[in-house]
């Protein structure tokens, strides 16, 4: 896996040494509540399991640390997981103390560009939990369009949650 560099971030391979930062960021209900697959509370064992599963993903799937270039410390995680041929799912989270700084948009834009230009994806799909205005702004700002609604189980909430489903075709990507 390559490293993608933006003005302020690097999307780099996850490392075992990221486990502590992952736990610090995700053992926060304000963050984990907006995810589907993240339990709350979040432990070191959860982080180690996540790192192990991420390292074993099949080719065409890409999970990376979102790291601040100044420190190389993990501030979030982003992934692009192959779905149907030519289509991948974009997902990400950013630690609460890094919200409101544009990191989510910067990382998602870089990953979308990489998915289209390097991974050869024709489309990306994504979703956000109803009420997650930050993810809505990020995804719509990149050109994702709403395709419907759905439901998903949230491990952190231990409940079914409403989702907004979105899609971005390569030709519709906004700079």
Residues of the domain holding 37:
4-172
pTM for the full predicted model: 0.95
Q: How many domains does the chain have?
A: 1
pLDDT for residue 85: 86
Q: How confident is the model at residue 59 (pLDDT cuts 50, 70, 90)?
A: confident
Q: What are 7-47's pLDDT values in tens digits?
A: 999 999 999 999 999 999 999 999 999 999 999 999 999 99
**Pairing between β-strand 123-129 and β-strand 87-94 as defined by DSSP bridges:** parallel
Would you say 36 and 153 are in contact if contact means Cβ atoms under 8 Å apart? yes
Q: What does the pLDDT look like over 147-168, one tens digit per residue?
A: 999 999 999 999 999 999 999 9
Question: What mean pLDDT comes out for the span 99-111?
Answer: 97
What is the domain-level CATH number for residue 108? 3.40.630.30
- Considering only CA atoms, give the Rg of the chain: 15
């Amino acid at each position: 896996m390559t490293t993608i560099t933006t003005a302020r971030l690097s999307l780099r391979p996850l490392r075992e040494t990221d486990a502590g930062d992952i736990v610090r960021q995700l053992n926060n209900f304000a963050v984990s509540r907006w995810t589907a697959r993240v339990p709350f509370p979040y432990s070191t064992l959860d982080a180690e399991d996540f790192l192990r599963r991420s390292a074993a993903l099949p080719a065409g799937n890409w999970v990376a640390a979102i790291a601040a270039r100044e420190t190389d410390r993990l501030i979030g995680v982003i992934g692009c997981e192959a779905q149907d041929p030519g289509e991948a799912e974009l997902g990400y989270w950013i630690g609460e103390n890094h919200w409101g700084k544009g990191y989510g948009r910067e990382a998602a834009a870089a990953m979308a560009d990489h998915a289209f230009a390097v991974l050869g994806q024709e489309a990306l799909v994504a979703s956000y939990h109803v009420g997650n205005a930050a993810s809505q702004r990020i995804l719509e700002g990149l050109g994702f369009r709403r395709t419907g609604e759905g439901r998903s189980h949230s491990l952190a909430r231990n409940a079914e949650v409403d989702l907004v489903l979105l899609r971005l075709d390569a030709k519709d990507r906004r700079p």
